[in-house]
Chain A
């Protein structure tokens, strides 16, 4: 797995009054789908532009496919396909002409470019619209044409900037499936930036969380959630029939069980954090005491939670100094 195709080392980009990307170091391996996750304005696009040599880093280096992106952008652009977040086509050219134009720019002859364009249009499912002008295309169609446009240069790496923005749910599903398929079939490395957690979660092998120019964490989703929420514990959710039953007595009862670290009560739900997996024991205990248990759930964290958790951290960082004395039980959760 140690074959990085994209290597960023200490990459920074400073604008006049803002630091867009701050000392970013990242390695992405060949054949991997990496999700760059962050809110709007986190510096995702700036990072991508620096990867392509379209923007000059203030300091640091970006190596893509063994080439320095700042010094030798042409070599990088030959191997990297980039799908910008709001891409545009030449409106009064047809889809086929648009594709073949890009193909010819990448050093294919007219015949080759045309053949490849037709082939790709079929892959992305736009074969019937090949001779239609692109002004008539819907957003989803444009996005698929964009993918074909990226693939026509036979890239080793494709970089997709917010590829799912503005497409309807079924379109998103197809689009992501297509990317996954291409990744598997052609061993393409995919770098995907998004603020849509579910989309990233669906297909990414690894995720990097990127906030305010900094990469806060990276790794696959299970390890990220582990890193984030409970370093040495499991979370079990117990749902009672009604909130009247969730008394402090019950809370103490469960807390007294061996291994339980913490119990948080919200309405009729109890969140139990324990050292090891002991759901059965808890259920036995609760039912044995005669409570009306209606649901038990082992909590796993998706990106949504990871994301929110990081944001809480971000926001709380500013006010943490003032509030540091006020120790509440929730601070445990806020800690990384």
Chain B
């Protein structure tokens, strides 16, 4: 016990921290995080996120009373989850808002990761130090994620805490799990866009080009992808008037699956399921399936199982793109 105390003391006292030799990875991470936090970009992003939070909280808080009284099942009302998903229809609910904000966050924290360092000549200086090349790119990827994770967890729990103070409603463990899972999901989604941005920052020499390309990809997936899919579907699928219900359901499933190529669709699906326990299926549900179903919420485990394909899809996308940028960066000849 005494030893433990001693070692803890040694671990946390400031004096010894100065003498500690850190791994290159730790040093790099620290520098990356410090660099992000000190930049103007971070201030702007922070303002944007806080504005989003305040706006959606305002709209959900002003609406929550009516939602509660009309609630069919008051025993499991999930006040704190409602807080994050309710809206008065003037602005989108928080989790939809985040599906716009997350790509912006990911892109803006990563679009100049490699190329701006290369352009100002500090990358070659870094490469001349005794560290592995992958340390650099992993640090470039992890540092923004650490920042965003801290930020989002802080903000959501601040809101939950604030709501707890003014309402006095106790929080359920299920809600905590769901909120943390939702934060993890958001982090993953930001990580996906971050890896795209980093890939582009390796590929393109000019930060402006990579930023523009990343925004182009994002716009494509949020706006044009659905339009394109709808047009293509109309051309291929026969007139629904002549189809049986089975066939309609079948085609519906196909359309949904095609839409799910878009990562934003995956994120919206997953976050909706996580934050709304009443969502029991993400595809069409037939009347036969609904017969005799109790209009109840589903458990966290079931919700997680429902979004597991979405989750693994996003993880796969992120890893694939990160692997591509990793490969490109490792093979790249760095010249000033």
Contacts and interface: CB of A to CB of B under 8 A. Distances in A.
Interface in A30-60: 45, 49, 52, 54-55
A84 interface: yes
Contact of B31 (A55, A101, A107, A110): A101
A88 interface: yes
Interface stretch (A89-97, A201-209, A235-243): A89-97
Given A101-B31, A105-B131, A84 B121 contact: yes
The residue among A80, A82, A92, A105 with the most chain B CB atoms within 10 A of its own CB is A105
A322 B170 CA distance: 97
The 9 closest A-B pairs by CB, nearest first: A88-B121, A88-B120, A82-B128, A111-B18, A77-B130, A88-B122, A78-B130, A104-B27, A105-B129
B17 A153 contact: no
Interface residues of B, number: 31
A54 B27 contact: no
B185 interface: no
B21 interface: yes
A109 B27 contact: no
Nearest to A45: B335
A287 interface: no
A28 to B, nearest CB: 18
A158 to B, nearest CB: 11
Nearest to B24: A105
Given A77-B128, A92-B35, 12 more contacts: A54-B128, A77-B129, A84-B125, A86-B336, A87-B336, A90-B31, A90-B122, A93-B34, A109-B20, A109-B22, A111-B18, A112-B19
B129 A110 contact: no
Contacts, number: 86
B181 interface: no
B28 to A, nearest CB: 7
Interface in B1-30: 17-22, 24, 27-28
Contacts of A112: 19
18 contacts: A52-B128, A54-B127, A74-B132, A78-B130, A80-B128, A82-B125, A84-B124, A84-B128, A87-B121, A87-B122, A88-B121, A89-B122, A92-B35, A102-B125, A104-B27, A105-B28, A106-B130, A112-B19
Nearest to B31: A101
Contact of A149 (B22, B125, B127, B336): B125
A300 B318 CA distance: 66
A112 B18 CA distance: 8
Nearest to B35: A90
A217 B122 CA distance: 33
A108 interface: yes
Given A49-B335, A55-B333, A92-B39, A106 B129 contact: yes
Interface in B110-152: 117, 120-122, 124-132
Contacts of B333: 49, 54-55
A49 B127 CA distance: 10
A262 interface: no
A85 interface: yes
Contacts of B131: 74, 105
Contacts of A87: 121-122, 124-125, 336
Nearest to A46: B335
B334 interface: yes
Interface in A89-135: 89-93, 101-102, 104-112
Contacts of A93: 34-35
Given A74-B132, A90-B122, A91-B120, A108 B336 contact: no
Contact of B18 (A49, A84, A91, A109): A109
Contacts of A75: 130
B165 to A, nearest CB: 38
A123 B26 CA distance: 29
B234 interface: no
Contacts of B22: 104, 109-110
Nearest to B23: A107
A251 to B, nearest CB: 53
A68 B31 CA distance: 30
Interface string B298-336: 000000000000000000000000000000000001111
A29 to B, nearest CB: 22
User: Which one of B19, B35, B39, B128 has the highest number of Cβ atoms from chain A below 10 Å of its Cβ?
Assistant: B128
B304 to A, nearest CB: 41
A19 to B, nearest CB: 16
Contacts of B31: 90, 101
Contacts of B128: 52, 54, 77, 80-82, 84
B10 to A, nearest CB: 14
B335 A101 contact: no
A91 to B, nearest CB: 7
B218 to A, nearest CB: 28
Nearest to A100: B27
B130 A105 contact: yes
Nearest to B334: A54
A77 B129 CA distance: 6
Contact of A153 (B117, B127, B129, B335): B129
B121 A109 contact: no
A91 B129 CA distance: 19
B68 to A, nearest CB: 49
Nearest to B127: A54
Contacts of A85: 336
A239 to B, nearest CB: 47
A306 B17 CA distance: 56
A48 B211 CA distance: 33
A87 B166 CA distance: 56
Contacts of A82: 125, 128
Nearest to B128: A82
B159 to A, nearest CB: 32
Contacts of B117: 88
Contacts of A49: 333, 335
